[in-house]
Amino acid sequence: MIKALLLPAALAATAWLSSAHGAEPLRIGYVMAMANAPVIIAEKQGYYRDENLAVDVKALGDGPVIQQALAAHELDVAYVGTPPVYQWYARGLKSVILAKVNYGQAAVITNSNGPINSLADLKGHKLAGVKKGSGMDVLLRGYVLKENAKLNPDTDVEIVDMPPGNMNAALERGIVDAAFSWEPFVSQALLRGSTKLLLDVNQALPQYPWYVVIGLPETLRDRPDDVVKLLRAHRKAIAFLNEHPAEANKIIAEAFKLEAIQRPDGSTSQPQDIVAEARKRLGWSAELGASDLAFIQRLMNYSNELKFMDAQIPLKDLVDTSYLQKASR
């Protein structure tokens, strides 16, 4: 059994949805990242309830853990980064991408007063990253280091594997010289004034897609109406995030238990200010357009070049936007 992380307070009430509807709940897993805020908003704002959809929502640690839960049939759908989807697809877990969740989120940060002022300066230094072969690692090695910085990720930089929640402290203590992280951790570090932004990936690759909604083949076969309901709630949540940013920021800050930050000038950044700062590098959209599909293909190419997989998966087999289109009607 895959163990879930402790759910944020906003999701504590999901269990009653199952009993209230009397139907088998749709089991939703998601990586506990700010970019996956649509899940939290959909629950908090009652969008699943409005669709008469019983759900069981689980926050899990990372993409590979979610893929394991899907393979064990402990989840029906999931919000996860794209690389684990196609990597596990190549191994036989034929999950299908149904919709986009967000764009942006990743950045490279380094000490404010340190010697690193460009990506090229990372050569010979320690860089905090996540598990080798994971989605963010593919982006780090394939795009940030090889393509952008023209560095060999295996020999030019020492990548130190650690949880993103530990990266800021490791950077401040000199354990690493830079970190490849995501929100809210990037914004927390920047607002404290201890770090500077070396690369905002969303600025370099405007609106690159990251998290996506995926479904198992049997979920699509057996519960197509529930999948459409889910995506309709997903659309509503994204609309709320975009149309009511102040209210949404407060919900996100509470869900992630963000704390106020003391800034270098003595002022205080409130929890919702952290979310507002994160929006400079992060946004939400459900649509999967041609540029999104091209970036997914680009990620698959990185994974092949990095020897993380050796299969060529046609995008037409990996993506199905017909359910999202139905959810817009």
pLDDT tens-digit map of 129-141: 998 888 899 999 9
Q: How is residue 248 written in tokens?
A: 């949404």
**Residue 242: per-residue pLDDT:** 98
**How does residue 106 score in pLDDT terms, banded at 50, 70 and 90?**
very high
Q: How many CA atoms lie within 13 A of 156 on its CB side?
A: 14
Q: How confident is the model at residue 14 (pLDDT cuts 50, 70, 90)?
A: very low
Cβ neighbours of 50 (radius 10 Å): 13
The tokens of 8 are what?
Answer: 């944020």
The Cα 171–Cα 42 span in angstroms is: 35
Between CA 52 and CA 27 the distance in angstroms is: 15
Q: How many CA atoms lie within 13 A of 86 on its CB side?
A: 30
For 220-244, what is each residue's pLDDT tens digit? Answer: 999 999 999 999 999 999 999 999 9
Q: What is the DSSP letter of 70?
A: H
- Same CATH topology for 9-103+208-258+280-327 and 107-204: the answer is yes
Tell me the helices (H) and strands (E) count for the chain, helix number first: 16, 14
Q: Do residues 111 and 195 touch, judged by C-beta distance below 8 A?
A: yes
Q: Domain segments of the chain: what residues?
A: 9-103+208-258+280-327, 107-204
Average pLDDT, the chain: 91
Is the pLDDT assigned to residue 163 strictly greater than 70? yes
Helix (H, G, I), strand (E, B) or coil at 316: helix
Query: Is the predicted pLDDT of residue 11 greater than 90, yes or no?
Result: no
**Pair 286, 328: CB distance under 8 Å:** no
As to burial, measured by CB atoms within 10 angstroms (0-12 exposed, 13-18 middle, 19+ buried), residue 84 is buried
Contact 309, 216 (CB under 8 A): no
Contact (Cβ atoms closer than 8 angstroms) between residue 136 and residue 130: yes
Q: What's the token pair of residue 106?
A: 């990743």
pTM listed for this prediction: 0.89
Cα distance between residue 107 and residue 102, in whole Å? 15
Contact criterion met (CB below 8 Å) for 148 and 239:
no
As its CATH architecture, domain 107-204 has: 3-Layer(aba) Sandwich (3.40)
pLDDT of 103 over the 80 cut: yes
**Res. 68: pLDDT tops 70:** yes
How does residue 314 score in pLDDT terms, banded at 50, 70 and 90? very high
Judged by average pLDDT, the poorest of 30-44, 55-69, 228-242 is: 55-69
- Give the CATH fold of the 9-103+208-258+280-327 domain: D-Maltodextrin-Binding Protein; domain 2 (3.40.190)
How many C-beta neighbours within 10 Å does residue 254 have?
Answer: 16
Tokens describing residue 329: 């009607």
Enter the tokens of residue 121. 């300066």
